[in-house]
Amino acid sequence: MEFKDIVMQRYATKKFDGRTIPDATIDELVDLVRFAPSAINLQPWKIRIITDQALKAELRPAAHDQEQITSCSHLLVFFADTDYEGLIGNVDALMQRQGIPDETREQVIGMAREYASRMSPEQRFTWSQAQTYLSAGNAFNGAKALGFDSCPMSGFDQAAFSRILRTPAHLVPVILCPVGYAADRPMKKMRFSRDAILV
């Protein structure tokens, strides 16, 4: 499937048909997310994948009671990870495992530490959230590429999601990606013209 067709055929699916996506296909979707780019390769994102119907039902009121939360096959909750010390430590360990020369590794890690040291907690969250949206984009496009559908959902009660999912404070849920097979039809795509977005 051409990328242009993915972009044009992807749409915010409001209703799924109840069929289950095979776990192996969800693994492929997660791999598409994993290989998204991020600044200094920090990969400041985590994902919780929810299939339990009771848990979906518990979360649904915190997402404006929208039915795609319960009718989806898998609900992917994307968290922005704000624990930069942990992330930098993990990148350091990853580079060691991959046999990156010490000099290169130390240069990258030093740059990451210096970058992180200049950021306030708010800036860390903002920055992690932005990178996480970049990775979530691969999930929305990836779902269509893999033959199913998704719905980007930014508007939900983040505090309620954190409480219900019992996630640690350094993980902030920032965008939802319910996936499944669409039981509705796309509306016509409406976008600003090329001229309107070029400045």
Our finding on whether 92 is near its own copies (CB under 8 A) is: no
Our finding on whether 196 is near its own copies (CB under 8 A) is: yes
Report the distance separating Cα 153 and Cα 164, nearest Å: 18
- Smallest separation (angstroms) from its own copies to the CB of 29: 10
140-169 binders of its own copies (CB under 8 A): 140-142, 145, 152, 154-155, 167
- Smallest separation (angstroms) from its own copies to the CB of 191: 5
For residue 153, report the phi and psi dihedrals to the nearest 5 degrees.
Answer: -130, 110
Our finding on whether 95 is near its own copies (CB under 8 A) is: yes
Which residue of 18, 37, 121, 147 would you call a contact of its own copies, by CB under 8 A? 37
Closer by beta carbon to its own copies, 70 or else 129? 129
Structure tokens at 113: 């530490």
Judge contact between 175 and 133, C-beta under 8 A: yes
Report the distance separating Cα 38 and Cα 94, nearest Å: 15
Judge contact between 103 and 192, C-beta under 8 A: no
Report the distance separating Cα 45 and Cα 172, nearest Å: 9
54-83 binders of its own copies (CB under 8 A): 79
Stretches 17-25, 47-55, 66-74, 178-186: which one binds its own copies (CB under 8 A)? Answer: 47-55
Our finding on whether 30 is near its own copies (CB under 8 A) is: yes
Count of residues in contact with its own copies, rule CB under 8 A: 69
All residues at 6 or more sequence positions from 34 whose CB lies less than 8 Å from its CB, including other chains = 43, 135
Return the closest-CA partner of residue 82 out of 16, 142, 167.
167
- Smallest separation (angstroms) from its own copies to the CB of 94: 5
Closer by beta carbon to its own copies, 62 or else 171? 171
DSSP assignment of 139-163: HHHHHHHTT-EE--B--S-HHHHHH
DSSP assignment of 156-189: S-HHHHHHHHT--TTEEEEEEEEEE-BSS-PPPP
* Interface ranges with its own copies (CB under 8 A): 1-4, 6-8, 10, 12, 27-28, 30-37, 39-41, 43, 45-49, 79, 90, 94-95, 98, 100, 115, 122, 125-127, 129-134, 136-138, 140-142, 145, 152, 154-155, 167, 171, 174-175, 188-192, 194, 196-199
